[in-house]
Amino acid sequence: MKFFIDTADLTEIRSLASSGLLDGVTTNPSLIAKNGGVFAKVIAEICEIIPGPVSAEVAGTEYDQIMAEAKVLRKIADNVCIKVPLTMDGLRACKHLSNDGTMVNVTLCFSAAQALLAAKSGASFISPFVGRVDDIGWDGMQLISDIVDIYNNYDFKTEVLVASIRGPNHVIEAAKMGAHVATLPPAVLRSLFNHPLTDKGLATFLADWAKTGQSIV
């Protein structure tokens, strides 16, 4: 499974990129507004840090506006992935952009039917929002399972990018189902390292090593 980080915080991105675990970044206008900075400049800086896909979301909702904004965004760097809404105009733009060889992330997916349309439109990534589906009393992980099954049936090239992840269980369940990508808030990615038995084992090891009075270097 690929790990993307869902943030526009350059300090967080640099820190987590140093771990070697990041495969890409997802952003949106809300995240960039939260962290400040000029949209295009922030995307360019992220693309310099991360060689993998960096999702930059359009603000337009109509086809002509989406295409105009995509033209500007894809000039920022070769690894920019244009993020479009799962609407008729968004999928129309997705089809034309993907035909030109541009990576496209179709966002705000909440049903398997929508995911099927995105795949037929040539999306590079589909972003189902599991946490938001859970919030309304439905089963977000069942949505992931359904999309993965459908894509496997027809050998679609679109990758399932699990979004709106709230904790480690979402990541593990999605990986078991065969989802291709998880985009994680920084805190959730860091939480994957944590286990009390790891902490306990390390503490015991360090105490035993100290008793030897030795040093490796």
The predicted-structure confidence for 159-213, as pLDDT tens digits, reads as follows 999 999 999 999 999 999 999 999 999 999 999 999 999 999 999 999 999 999 9
Question: What pLDDT score was predicted for residue 35?
Answer: 84
83 within some domain: yes
78 within some domain: yes
Q: Which domain holds residue 53?
A: 2-212
pLDDT, one tens digit per residue, over 91-101 is 999 999 999 99
Question: What pLDDT score was predicted for residue 116?
Answer: 98
Q: Going by C-beta distance under 8 Å and a sequence separation of 6 or more, which residues neighbour residue 166?
A: 130, 131, 134, 188
Give the residue-averaged pLDDT of 16-40.
91
Range in 32-36, 89-93, 113-117, 204-208 with the lowest mean pLDDT: 32-36
Residue 35 Cα distances to 29, 38, 40, 79, 144, angstroms: 10, 10, 13, 21, 30
104 within some domain: yes
Entry pTM: 0.94
* Domains: count for the chain: 1
Distance CA 25, CA 186 (A): 11
CA torsion 6-53-118-159 (nearest 10°) is -90
Question: What pLDDT score was predicted for residue 193?
Answer: 94
Helix/strand/coil (H/E/C) assignment for every residue in 2-24: EEEEECCCHHHHHHHHCCCCCCE
For residue 30, pLDDT over 90 is answered with no
Give the residue-averaged pLDDT of 31-54.
93
90 within some domain: yes
Please spell the DSSP secondary structure of 87-119, one letter per residue.
SHHHHHHHHHHHHTT--EEEEEE-SHHHHHHHH
Name the pLDDT band for 37 (thresholds 50, 70, 90): confident
Q: Which two tokens mark 67?
A: 């295409």
151 within some domain: yes
Distance CA 107, CA 99 (A): 18
Which one, of 38, 41, 12, lies nearest residue 25 by Cα?
12
Name the pLDDT band for 12 (thresholds 50, 70, 90): very high
CATH number at residue 51: 3.20.20.70
Percent of the chain surpassing pLDDT 70: 100
Question: What pLDDT score was predicted for residue 89?
Answer: 98
Long-range (24+ apart) CB contacts under 8 A made by 35-39 are 35/7, 35/8, 35/9, 35/10, 37/8
Q: Which two tokens mark 91?
A: 């999928």
217 within some domain: no
Which one, of 35, 28, 29, lies nearest residue 9 by Cα?
35
Mean pLDDT for all residues in the chain: 96
Give the residue-averaged pLDDT of 3-13.
96
Angle between helices 39-49 and 10-17 (to 10 degrees): 10
Distance CA 4, CA 55 (A): 10
Range in 32-46, 108-122, 145-159 with the lowest mean pLDDT: 32-46
133 within some domain: yes
Question: What pLDDT score was predicted for residue 121?
Answer: 98
- Strand, helix or coil at 57? strand
Distance CA 82, CA 71 (A): 9
Distance CA 86, CA 108 (A): 6
Which residues are catalytically annotated? 83
